[in-house]
Chain A
Amino acid sequence: MNKTRIVLLTTIMTLVIFWSACNKQEKAVAPPVPGNEFITTLKLVATNVADSTDMVSCAWTKLNPNDTSAPDTSLAHMKLRANAVYNVKVMVLDETKTPPLDITPEIQDRENYHLVCFTIAPGLNLSVQRTDHDTNTPQHEVGLADKFAAGSPSSGNLEVVLHHQPNVKNGDCNRGSIDIDVNFTIYIK
């Protein structure tokens, strides 16, 4: 084999090696990261629209969401005046931290894939309207700010669920996963 042929073959082989080195797709998986903050507490703070001194709240707490113990429901009840309208703020806390960490701003930052849903038990004369909206196109309600309209005296259960709907939020409560699901007893007097 003469010198010219050797050089030609070497060059062609080099070109082929360069070409084959760059032909591949890539995949990546971002796995769970330990140490995410817990959501231990969901709190409702209600202010009477007609009387700002009428401010009431309720809270549901479970300090370790992973164990099987019962949640602390000692504060999970709220009294509303009959035929009154309340502005309600939903607060999400991590009370494993000292002082307790308010996660609500983080949820607000991520409002485009979070939705608070309310289920009112039959017999409880209450209507709930979400008043805040995200920045999706089209916009959807969020539910961290709400208007509660209390009717005639009654009592019953109000279920509040914070849904996490990454890239599936469309206003429907039956999508995504659940960050926290709690029950309050509401008394209208």
Chain B
Amino acid sequence: MRKIIAALFVMIATSGSLLPYNSIAQETEQAKSTNVKWIFGITGGLSVPFGNYVKADYDNSKSGFAKAGSDFGVTATYFLNKNFGISALISYHKYAFNGVQNMANGLKESFDVDSVYLETNGDNHVLNILVGPYYSIPAGKRLSVDFRVLIGLANASLAGNNVILTDGGVTDPEFYQKPATATTFALQAGAGLRYNISNSFGIMLNADYFYSKPNFKIDNVDRLNNAGRKIDNYNEPIACINTNITLVYLLRHK
């Protein structure tokens, strides 16, 4: 993660120093794309998590049983000069479930029962409020390459589950792992290719790395016996790559 942040800063710094050599000839053409004062955006796309959060190994208490999902948000960027600005992002990542059948099979083995019915409860999601520096490099009349490094807060939710065991024709009372929530710091860094369709609208393709490590405290309800997978807390990173399309509205200097 540190390497990614360092690389982004190096890219921003380097691009800034090279800009005078590249931009002189194109200054007139690019004038339109660099007189932006505000950018407002609606963004959405694919969020692909990795690490323990996506593992579906029943015997590993670090397994998060999540998989790729969607990512939506709104963003606003205020330009302090023609290249540099401050950006804010409110985004929501939602992840699908991975290996629910593994979990049911594991519980069946752990409790040595005839069958297990397992239903997920709640969902895996992260709501973020992030702010940070934004740097835009014009790359043509309508095109620019934009970079951002954002930090802030993430409110994350970990799905729970409801389990019913049946053995020897006897169905036992349901037990639950309640959905859990936790708030922690988050970081997002990435780059985007912005194309201005008109004077006011543009489309942007973004790729961002996101990281947070919420510490979930988990309530287990009606769990009478110490058997089977039972986790009381979950403190693994939620790290993902978000690839988004952003619809942007541009407010320009008059």
- Report B83-114 CB contacts with A as 1/0, cut-off 8 Å: 00000000000111100110111011001111
CB of B165 closer than 8 Å to a CB of A = yes
Q: Is the CB of B170 within 8 A of A177?
A: yes
Q: Is the CB of A29 within 8 A of B112?
A: no
Rounded to whole Å, the gap between the CB of A66 and the closest CB of chain B is 13
Chain A binder among B127-135, B195-203, B231-239: B195-203
In the bound assembly, the distance between CA atoms of A110 and B119 in angstroms comes to 24
Q: Is the CB of A29 within 8 A of B225?
A: no
Quick one: given A15-B245, A28-B104, A28-B118, are A164 and B72 in contact (CB under 8 Å)?
Answer: no
Q: Is the CB of B42 within 8 A of A4?
A: no
The residues of B that contact A4 with a CB separation of less than 8 Å are 197-198, 201
Q: Is the CB of A26 within 8 A of B120?
A: yes
The residues of A that contact B117 with a CB separation of less than 8 Å are 27-29
Rounded to whole Å, the gap between the CB of B59 and the closest CB of chain A is 14
Q: Is the CB of B203 within 8 A of A167?
A: no
- Report A27-40 CB contacts with B as 1/0, cut-off 8 Å: 11111110000000
CB of B45 closer than 8 Å to a CB of A = yes
Could you say which of B121, B172, B175, B222 has the most chain A C-beta atoms within 10 Å of its C-beta? Answer: B172
Contact of A166 among B121, B165, B201 (CB under 8 A): B165
Q: Is the CB of A28 within 8 A of B165?
A: no
The residues of A that contact B173 with a CB separation of less than 8 Å are 167-168
Quick one: given A19-B72, A21-B70, A177-B167, are A136 and B104 in contact (CB under 8 Å)?
Answer: no
Q: Is the CB of A8 within 8 A of B100?
A: no
Q: Interface residues of A, CB < 8 Å — how many? A: 41
Could you say which of A25, A33, A110, A166 has the most chain B C-beta atoms within 10 Å of its C-beta? Answer: A166
The residues of A that contact B113 with a CB separation of less than 8 Å are 164, 166
Quick one: given A15-B44, A167-B225, are A30 and B201 in contact (CB under 8 Å)?
Answer: no
- Report B120-147 CB contacts with A as 1/0, cut-off 8 Å: 1101000000000000000000000000
In the bound assembly, the distance between CA atoms of A18 and B73 in angstroms comes to 12
Quick one: given A4-B197, A4-B198, A26-B120, are A31 and B227 in contact (CB under 8 Å)?
Answer: no
Quick one: given A168-B224, A170-B224, are A178 and B119 in contact (CB under 8 Å)?
Answer: no
Q: Is the CB of B203 within 8 A of A164?
A: no
In the bound assembly, the distance between CA atoms of A18 and B96 in angstroms comes to 12
Q: Is the CB of B227 within 8 A of A30?
A: no
Q: Is the CB of A136 within 8 A of B225?
A: yes
In the bound assembly, the distance between CA atoms of A177 and B119 in angstroms comes to 23
In the bound assembly, the distance between CA atoms of A7 and B202 in angstroms comes to 9
The residues of A that contact B203 with a CB separation of less than 8 Å are 7, 11
The residues of A that contact B100 with a CB separation of less than 8 Å are 26-28
The residues of B that contact A12 with a CB separation of less than 8 Å are 247
The residues of B that contact A30 with a CB separation of less than 8 Å are 101, 104-105, 107-108, 115-116, 118
In the bound assembly, the distance between CA atoms of A59 and B69 in angstroms comes to 58
- Report A1-18 CB contacts with B as 1/0, cut-off 8 Å: 001100110011011001
Q: Is the CB of A28 within 8 A of B103?
A: yes
Q: Is the CB of B112 within 8 A of A135?
A: no
Q: Could you list 6 examples of A-B contacts with CB < 8 Å?
A: A14-B44, A19-B72, A25-B121, A26-B119, A112-B227, A176-B170
* A interface residues (Cβ-Cβ under 8 A, vs B): 3-4, 7-8, 11-12, 14-15, 18-19, 21-33, 110, 112-113, 134-137, 164-170, 176-179
Besides the contacts A27-B117, A30-B101, A30-B108, what 12 more A-B pairs have beta carbons closer than 8 Å? A7-B201, A7-B203, A14-B245, A15-B245, A19-B44, A25-B123, A27-B118, A28-B101, A28-B103, A164-B112, A166-B112, A177-B170
List 5 tightest A-B contacts by C-beta distance, closest first.
A177-B168, A15-B44, A30-B108, A166-B111, A28-B104
